[in-house]
A and B are shown apart, each in its own frame.
Chain A
Amino acid sequence: MIDSLILFARKLLVKLVAVFAAFIPGIAFAIQPYNLPVGVTETSKEIFDLHMFGFWISFAIGVFVFAIMLWSIIFHRKSVRPTPAKFSHSLKLEILWTVVPIIILVALMIPATQVLTRTHDSSNAEIDIKITGYQWRWHYEYLDERVKFFSNINTPEEQISNQEEKTAEYLLEVDKEIVIPVNTKVRFLLTSADVLHAWWVPDLGVKKDAIPGFINEMWTIVDEEGVYRGQCAELCGTRHAFMPIVVRAVSRPEYDDWLAERQQGAEEEAALAQKADWTPEELLERGKQVYSINCIACHQTSGKGLPPAFPALIGSSVVLGPKAAQIDILLNGRSGTTMQAFGALLSDSDIAAVITHTRNSWGNSGQDQTVFPQDVAAQRSK
Chain B
Amino acid sequence: MNEATIDIKTNEMAHDDHHGPAKGITRWLYTTNHKDIGTLYLLFSLLMLFVGGAMALVIRTELFAPGMQITTPEFYNQMVSMHGLVMIFLVIMPTFIGLANWMIPLMIGAPDMALPRLNNWSFWVLVIASIVLMSTFFVEGGAPSGGWTFYAPLSTEYAKPSITFMILSIHLLGMSSIMGALNIISTIFNLRAPGMGYMKMPLFVWTWLITAFLLLAVMPVLAGLVTMMLTDIHFGTSFFNAAGGGDPVMFQHLFWFFGHPEVYIMILPAFGIVSMILPTFSRKPLFGYDSMVYATASIAILSMIVWAHHMFTAGMPLAGEIFFMATTMIIAVPTGVKVFNWIATMFQGSITFETPMLFAIAFVALFTIGGLSGVMMAMASVDIQYHDSYFIVAHFHYVLVPGALFAIYAGVYYWLPKWTGKMYNETLGQIHFWLSFVSVNLTFFPMHFVGLAGMPRRIPDYSLQFSDFNALATIGAFAFGISQLIFAYIVIRAMFAGKPATQEVWDNPEGLEWTIPSPAPYHTFETPPEVK
A interface residues with partner B (beta carbon < 8 Å):
1, 4, 8, 11-12, 15, 19, 23, 26, 29-32, 34-37, 44, 46-47, 50-51, 54-55, 57-58, 61-62, 65-66, 68-69, 71-73, 76-78, 81-90, 93-94, 97-98, 101-102, 105, 108-109, 112-113, 115-117, 119-120, 159-162, 166, 168-172, 194-196, 198, 200, 202, 205-209, 211-214, 216-217, 230-242, 306, 309, 338
Contacts and interface: CB of A to CB of B under 8 A. Distances in A.
B431 interface: no
A166 B331 CA distance: 45
A234 B462 CA distance: 15
Given A72-B346, A212-B242, A161 B68 contact: yes
A161 to B, nearest CB: 6
A32 B318 contact: no
Contact of A112 (B284, B349, B352, B380): B380
Given A47-B382, A101-B333, A241-B460, A306 B154 contact: no
B329 A105 contact: yes
A62 B385 contact: no
Interface stretch (B6-14, B217-225, B337-345, B415-423): B337-345
Contact of B461 (A8, A117, A160, A233): A160
Contact of A83 (B242, B330, B346, B350): B350
Given A72-B346, A89-B291, A214-B248, 13 more contacts: A54-B382, A65-B339, A66-B365, A81-B348, A81-B349, A89-B287, A97-B340, A109-B329, A109-B379, A160-B68, A162-B69, A209-B315, A235-B457
Nearest to A32: B465
A209 B313 contact: yes
B288 A214 contact: no
A69 B346 contact: yes
A241 B346 contact: no
Contact of B368 (A65, A71, A166, A306): A65
B495 interface: no
Interface string B364-388: 1100110011011011111011011
Nearest to A1: B138
A283 to B, nearest CB: 33
A356 B199 CA distance: 79
A191 to B, nearest CB: 10
Contacts, number: 311
Contact of B74 (A37, A108, A209, A238): A238
A69 B363 CA distance: 12
A89 B293 CA distance: 13
Contacts of B66: 166, 170-171
- The 10 residue pairs across chains A and B that have the minimum distance between CB atoms: A213-B242, A34-B449, A241-B459, A58-B372, A112-B379, A216-B315, A85-B348, A115-B381, A84-B350, A88-B285
A42 to B, nearest CB: 12
Chain A binding surface, main DSSP class: mixed
Interface string B129-160: 00000000110000001110001011001100
Contacts of A50: 379, 381-382
B351 A72 contact: yes
B325 A109 contact: yes
Given A51-B376, A207-B384, A241 B461 contact: yes
Nearest to A36: B452
B290 interface: yes
B61 interface: yes
B153 A306 contact: no
Contacts of A19: 64
A34 B153 CA distance: 34
Given A196-B153, A200-B456, A120 B318 contact: yes
B286 interface: yes
Contacts of A85: 284, 347-349
18 contacts: A29-B468, A35-B449, A47-B382, A54-B379, A66-B368, A69-B365, A72-B347, A77-B350, A78-B351, A84-B284, A102-B333, A105-B375, A109-B329, A112-B380, A112-B381, A115-B382, A235-B457, A241-B456
Please indicate which of the listed interface residues B145, B325, B389, B463 has the most CB atoms of chain A within 10 Å of its own CB.
B463
A316 B153 CA distance: 30
Contacts of A35: 449, 452-453
A13 to B, nearest CB: 10
B314 A172 contact: no
A159 B458 CA distance: 20
A194 B248 CA distance: 11
A105 B330 contact: yes
Contact of A196 (B137, B154, B449): B154
B472 interface: yes
A214 B158 contact: no
B370 to A, nearest CB: 11
A169 B286 CA distance: 55
B504 interface: no
B321 A116 contact: yes
A299 to B, nearest CB: 15
Interface string B297-331: 00000000000000001110010011001100110
A237 to B, nearest CB: 6
Given A162-B67, A231-B456, A198 B313 contact: yes
A169 B313 contact: no
Contact of B326 (A72, A109, A159, A233): A109
B210 interface: no
A167 to B, nearest CB: 9
B486 interface: no
B249 interface: yes
B153 A195 contact: yes
A195 B465 CA distance: 28
B21 interface: no
Contacts of A36: 385, 452-453
Contacts of B154: 195-196, 235-237
A113 B67 CA distance: 40
Nearest to B315: A216
B509 interface: no
Given A161-B67, A211-B315, A55 B349 contact: no
